[in-house]
C-alpha cells in the first residue's frame, strides 16, 4: 500500500510535509533529501502506532483528492508560492505485531526487578520489556 506525502514549500525555506491520509504523520525538512528521510520516518512511526492500537489503516486517497489538498495548502500563510509543491508516494512499511515466544536467560535478581517494576506500572513482564526496549534510543 502506498501513501502520499505533500511537500509544501515553506517561505523560510525547506518543506512542511504531511500525509493527508495519516494525520499523525507530520514533519519537515530543510532540503528535499532531508524531507524525504523525515517523511519516511514519520510514516513508519505513525503506522507502528496504528498497529499497536490495533487501528485499521486508512485507505489511500485518490490522486485528485491529493491534488486538491495541495492546491488548497498553497493558499495558506507561510507558503513560498514561487516554488512548486510536491507529491511523493511512499510504500507503507510492514508492521507485524504477531507475538513471538522466546526464551531468554538472566539472573533471578534482574527478573525480580523487572517483575517489581512491571507490577508497579500495572504491566505484564512482556509488556514492560517491550516498552523498555522501545524507550531505549537506537
- pLDDT digit of tens for each residue in the chain (138 aa)? 899 999 999 999 999 999 999 999 999 999 999 999 999 999 999 998 888 888 888 999 999 999 999 999 999 999 999 999 999 999 998 877 677 889 999 999 999 999 999 999 999 998 899 888 877 776
Helix (H, G, I), strand (E, B) or coil at 68: helix
Beta bridge pairs of residue 4: 89
Cβ-count burial 21-39 (b if 16+ within 10 Å, e if not): bbeebebbbeeeeebbebb
Can you tell me which residue has the cell 515553506?
Answer: 10
Q: Is the pTM of this model over 0.85?
A: no
Beta bridge partners of 16: 8, 28
Query: Sheet holding 2-9: strands in order across?
Result: 22-29, 15-19, 2-9, 86-91
Amino acid at each position: 500500500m502506498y501513501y502520499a506525502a505533500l511537500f509544501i514549500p515553506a517561505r523560510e525555506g525547506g518543506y512542511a510535509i504531511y500525509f493527508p491520509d495519516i494525520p499523525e504523520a507530520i514533519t519537515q525538512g530543510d532540503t528535499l533529501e532531508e524531507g524525504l528521510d523525515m517523511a519516511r520516518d514519520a510514516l513508519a512511526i505513525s503506522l507502528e502506532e496504528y498497529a499497536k492500537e490495533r487501528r485499521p489503516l486508512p485507505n489511500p486517497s485518490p490522486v485528485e483528492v491529493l491534488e486538491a489538498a495541495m492546491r488548497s495548502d498553497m493558499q495558506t500563510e507561510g507558503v513560498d508560492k514561487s516554488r512548486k509543491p510536491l507529491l511523493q508516494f511512499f510504500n507503507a512499511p510492514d508492521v507485524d505485531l504477531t507475538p513471538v515466544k522466546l526464551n531468554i536467560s538472566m539472573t533471578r535478581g534482574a527478573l525480580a526487578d523487572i517483575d517489581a517494576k512491571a507490577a508497579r506500572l500495572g504491566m505484564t513482564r512482556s509488556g514492560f520489556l517491550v516498552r523498555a526496549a522501545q524507550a531505549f534510543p537506537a
